[in-house]
Amino acid sequence: MTAAPDGSGARSLVDAARPVARLAAARAADADREAALSPEVVSAVVAAGFARHFVPRAHGGDEGTFLTFLRASAVLGEACGSTAWFASLAATMGRITAFLPLDGRKQIWQDGPDTLIAGSLLPQGTCERVPGGWRIRGRWPYVSSCTAADWTLLLARPDGGDVTQARFFALPREAYAVEETWASLGMRATGSHTVVVRDAVVPGELSFPRADLYRGTAGPRRTVRPVPLRAVTGLSFAAPALGTARGAAQVWTERIRGRLAAAGGATPALERAGYDLALSRSVDDIEMAALLLERVAGSADEAGDRPAGDLWAAAQARSTAKAAELLLSSVDRLLRAAGTECLAAEDELQRRWRDLRTVASHGTLRYATKAAAYAECIWSSGFPDDTGNRRSKHA
């Protein structure tokens, strides 16, 4: 999709996602079986505008909102979890790339804002200063879409340094090798393989400090919405999960409707009651999760230039993780209620359950750790007052 710089006359990313979803749905079983998205699906996701969604307008991108990102990614998730994951991370990495210095951004987006960028937030490699830039090396597992990407963002720390000193580095596809190590229970087609860099020199303009991203700050002439990473990073994974859960509920409902129709009114009362409860409770969980995620995305969009405190970011992360917990419980319940037939190797409901299980295991969506971080903020300073300011300690 070609968008006008101000977004006028351009289709909404949500609208653009719908035909991609139809294509992805038709290819979903093959993608799961072959552990790869088809080139047609990859191209359709990029053409719809996911890679350019968060790219600054100064570089031809849409500079879009988190709320649109959430809704569009969920549309794809209803069709195929792996496609939604791919699209979500393509958008997310465009946002992270915008933290690079101006000359680096110009290099990456010189051919337009639809450049496909992969990346990892794990500080697995090492880096050292050399004349003109940095020398990096290492192995980064779980780099989704690294084989399809034009560039990859990798996080490395100085040899012997801690993670607070780590930096991101942008490498073109020819600068790294890929080891095909991804063989997961779910999200099989995301291509989350291992990137290997044996010895690469990265110019200074293709690097920025990890602290900029985590604090949500950027240096001069950078156009990035000032939102701390932990306030929004869970959306990249919860958005595909939301769509996956909705799709699972649709599949389950059609299956049970067929079962009830075949019984011709002879379904035992207790069995029917079980279906009624499973449906209603799971739909409630999915709708509550959607409300939480829309609030998180909308709050991030409204952050503007105001300083984002630790408590706000912690609450954002907590709510996102809670939404993922609700989505997983909803589909767990549906799977149990569906019976043995859904456990067949290529059953669609089972595939969606596997995908959701895989998403929910991601570190950004672990409720216990997010709850602990939120609680620590409350224990130290109490709840905020009605103006949003934190009360004094022990007030």
Write down the pLDDT at residue 386: 54
Query: How many Cβ atoms are within 10 Å of 1's Cβ, its own excluded?
Result: 16
CATH code, 348: 1.20.140.10
**Is residue 207 assigned to a domain?**
yes
Domain boundary among 192, 215, 238: 215
For residue 84, being part of any structural domain is answered with: yes
> How many CB atoms sit inside 10 A of residue 311's CB?
20
How far CA 83 is from CA of 244, 250, 324, in Å, comes to 10, 18, 18
Do 296 and 349 lie in one domain? The reply is: yes
366, amino acid identity: R
Tell whether 223 is covered by a domain.
Answer: no
Domain boundary among 108, 139, 173: 108
| 221 is a domain residue | no
CATH code of the domain containing 20: 1.10.540.10
170 and 261 inside one domain: no
Predicted confidence at residue 124, as pLDDT, reads: 92
Q: Are 373 and 235 contained in the same domain?
A: yes
Based on the domain organization, do 50 and 17 belong to the same domain? yes
Under 8 Å CB-to-CB from 105, ≥6 apart: which residues? Answer: 56, 59, 97, 98
Q: Do 257 and 361 reside in the same domain of the chain?
A: yes
On whether the CB atoms of residues 89 and 236 are closer than 8 A, the answer is yes
CATH number at residue 177: 2.40.110.10
Give me the amino acid identity at 239.
Answer: A
Assess whether 360 and 237 both reside in one domain. yes
- CA dist., res. 57 & res. 212, Å (int): 20
Residue 388 lies in a domain: no
Q: Which two tokens stand for residue 393?
A: 């300690």
> Which residue ranges in the chain fall short of pLDDT 70?
1-11, 218-223, 304-308, 385-395
Q: What is the DSSP string of 51-73?
A: TTTTS-GGGT-----HHHHHHHH
**End of a domain among 152, 182, 215?**
215
- The answer to whether residues 29 and 135 belong to one domain is no
Residue 5 lies in a domain: no
Q: Which of 56, 54, 60, 59 is nearest to 13 (CA)?
A: 54
- Tell me if 33 is assigned to some domain: yes
Distance CA 148, CA 117 (A): 9
User: Do 126 and 169 lie in a common domain?
Assistant: yes
CA atoms within 13 A on the CB side of 18: 4
Residue 336, both tokens = 């149990």
Pairing verdict, β 207-209 and 167-172: antiparallel
Do 258 and 376 belong to one domain?
yes
- Tally of domains within the chain: 3
Cα separation, 142 vs 191, in Å, equals 8
CA distance 25 to 36: 14
Q: What secondary structure letter does DSSP report for 382?
A: -
Q: Which residues is 130 bridged to in the sheet?
A: 133
One domain, residues 70 and 161: no
pTM exceeds cut of 0.85:
yes
Whether residues 98 and 122 fall in one domain: no
Residue 339 lies in a domain: yes
Domain that holds residue 290: 229-381
Residues 278 and 325 in one domain: yes
